[in-house]
Every structure is written in C-alpha cells, then in structure tokens.
Amino acid sequence: MKKKSLIVAAVLVSLFFIIGYASAQTYRIEEGRQLMEFSQYVIDQAQIMEKCTCTDKAALLKQGGELVQKGNDVLVQSMMMQTKLGRSASGQLGKKLMAAGNLLLEKGKQAGPLTDKDKGEVNTFGKDMVAFGSLKLQQAKVMCGK
C-alpha cells in the first residue's frame, strides 16, 4: 500500500511539472508573437523616420504623438507578460518608441524650419531604430521557435 501511494505521489508530481512546463511554453510562444508584432511596428516606423524629409511640422507632431502613445501601450502590455524575456524586450521596444516620438515632437515644436542637422538627427535615429527592431524581431522568432 505504501509503495502504491509513493508511485501515485510521484506520478502526480511529474504531471504537475509537465503541465507547468507546457503552460510556460504556451506563454513564451504567445509573447513571442506579440513581440514580433511590436518589433515589426518599430521597424516600419523607423523606416519612415529614416526617409523623413521633415518638411511638414504638423505631420511630425502627429507622428510623434502616435509613437509616444504606442510606446506607452507597449510598455503597459510588457508589464503583463509572464516571461522575463518578453517583459524585457517589450519594455525596451516601448521605451524606444517613446524616445522616437519625443524626438519628433521636439523637432515639430522647434521654431523656424528644421536644419539639415535636425533632419540628419531624425534620419540617424530611424536608422538605429531599424537595427534595434530587427534585433528584437530575431529574439521574438527564437521565442516562437521559428
């Protein structure tokens, strides 16, 4: 009787760990998909910034506001993620989007026409953001097993 109880206990403990592992993998895959979506958004926005001529200040202000809002949304979603990698990577993407938005807002509010230096700053930030988004996209693919 004691032997059967030990075997049953061992089986139950094993099932507990297997279910816990499967649940963790499900979180990891789902968060990887979300991270892929966030990363692709960052890349798309960065490519726009990289090619920006910065002639329309109203468009800069509008785009900057949207990026700050999306960055904030990504940060909020990152706090709800279960995996450490998901929280970290999403948080970094959210902060990068907010930084890009703040840069565009700053340039949009600037008095007078933008100088070539200002335009270069926006283009360089966009170029760096493409590289950063691509790195996070690769991490997301690893999380999803792709």
pLDDT at 21 exceeding the cut of 50: no
Residue 26 lies in a domain: no
Range of the domain at 51: 46-146
Residue 142 lies in a domain: yes
pLDDT at 93: 93
pLDDT at 53: 83
Residue 144 lies in a domain: yes
Give the count of domains, the chain: 1
Residue 29 lies in a domain: no
Residue 14 lies in a domain: no
pLDDT at 106: 94
> pLDDT, tens digit, for every residue of 35-77?
899 999 999 999 988 888 888 888 899 999 999 999 999 999 9
135 neighbors 88 (Cβ within 8 angstroms): no
Residue 34 lies in a domain: no
Q: How far is CA 86 from CA 2, 42, 136, in A?
A: 44, 16, 10
> What counts of helices (H) and strands (E) characterise the chain?
4, 0
Site of tokens 């329309």: 56
pLDDT at 124 exceeding the cut of 90: yes
Residue 53 burial (C-beta neighbours within 10 Å; 0-12, 13-18, 19+):
exposed
Residue 109 lies in a domain: yes
pLDDT at 6: 61
Beta strand segments in the chain, E? none
DSSP assigned state of 56 = -
Residue 125 lies in a domain: yes
* 107-139: b (≥16 Cβ within 10 Å) or e: bbeeeeebeeeebebbbebbeebbebbeebbeb
Give CA torsion, residues 34, 39, 41, 42, to 10 deg: 140
Q: Can you give the pTM of this predicted structure?
A: 0.77
**116 vs 14: which has the higher pLDDT:** 116
pLDDT at 22: 46
